[in-house]
Amino acid sequence: MDHYKSDFLRTLAERGFLHQVTDAAALDAAADAGRLTGYIGFDATADSLHVGSLVQIMLLRHLQRSGHRPLVLMGGGTTKIGDPSGRDETRQLLSDDRIDANIAGIRRIFDRFLRFDDAPGGAIMANNDAWLSELKYIPLLRDVGRHFTINRMLTMDSVKLRLEREQPLTFLEFNYMILQGYDFVELNGRYGCTLQMGGSDQWGNIVQGVELGRRMRDVQLFGVTSPLIATASGAKMGKTASGAVWLNAERLSPYDYWQFWRNTEDGDVGRFLRMFTELPIAEIARLEALAGAEINTAKEILATEATGLCHGEAAAADAAATASRAFAGGAAQGLPTYTLEQEAIAVIDVIVALGMAASKSDARRLIEQGGVKLDDQVVAGPTARVAASDLESNGTIRLSVGKKRHGLIRRSGARS
User: Could you report the per-residue pLDDT of 45-87, keeping only the tens digit for each?
Assistant: 899 999 999 999 999 999 999 999 999 999 998 887 765 554 5
Residue 8 scores a pLDDT above 90: yes
Assess whether pLDDT exceeds 50 at residue 115.
Answer: yes
* C-alpha neighbours within 13 Å on the C-beta side of residue 121: 14
pLDDT classification of 326: cutoffs 50, 70, 90: low
Whole-angstrom CA distances from 130 to 113, 200, 293, 335, 385 are: 24, 27, 53, 43, 55
Q: What is the pTM of this model?
A: 0.76
350/19 Cα distance (integer angstroms)? 43
Q: How far apart are CA 237 and CA 69, in angstroms?
A: 28
Closest CA to 19 of 238, 158, 199: 199
Instruction: Say what the pLDDT of residue 330 is.
Output: 42
**CATH number of 337-411: 3.90.1150.10, 3.10.290.10, 1.20.120.80, 3.30.70.250?**
3.10.290.10
Q: What is the pLDDT of residue 374?
A: 84
- Tell whether the model's pLDDT for residue 142 goes beyond 90: no
Confidence of residue 14 (pLDDT cuts 50, 70, 90): very high
Q: Is the pLDDT of residue 208 over 80?
A: yes
Who wins on pLDDT, 237 or 311? 311
Range with lowest mean pLDDT among 98-112, 142-156, 343-357: 142-156
In this structure, of 32-36, 233-237, 287-291, 394-398, the range with the lowest mean pLDDT score is 394-398
CATH of 253-328, one of 1.10.240.10, 3.30.360.10, 1.10.150.120, 3.30.1490.20: 1.10.240.10
Rounded (10°) CA dihedral 123, 97, 199, 196: -40
Average pLDDT across the chain, whole number: 86
pLDDT, position 290? 92
Q: Which residue has the higher pLDDT, 337 or 326?
A: 337
Give φ, ψ of 270 to 5 degrees: -60, -45
Q: What is the mean pLDDT of residues 345-366?
A: 88
Across 341-370, average pLDDT: 88
C-alpha distance from residue 106 to each of 49, 112, 220, 238 (Å) = 6, 11, 30, 17
Domain ranges of the chain: 7-226, 253-328, 337-411
pLDDT of 416 higher than 60? no
CB neighbours of residue 156 within 10 Å: 19
Query: Residue 230 has what DSSP assignment?
Result: B
- Lowest mean pLDDT across 12-21, 135-144, 208-217: 135-144
- Look at residue 327 in the predicted model and tell me its pLDDT: 58
Residue 39 has pLDDT above 90, yes or no: yes
Distance of CA 378 to the CA centre of its chain: 34
Tell me the HSE value of 58 on the side-chain side, using a 13 A CA sphere.
26
How far, in Å, CA of 207 to CA of 343, rounded? 61
The average pLDDT across 266-291 equals: 95
Indicate if the pLDDT at residue 98 is higher than 80: yes
Give the β-pairing of 20-21 and 377-378: unpaired
Tell me the torsion sign for CA atoms 348, 349, 353, 359.
positive
In this structure, are strands 124-127 and 69-74 parallel, antiparallel, or unpaired? parallel
Above 90 in pLDDT, residue 126?
yes
The number of beta carbons lying within 10 Å of the beta carbon of residue 167 is: 13
Instruction: Give the CATH number of domain 7-226.
Output: 3.40.50.620
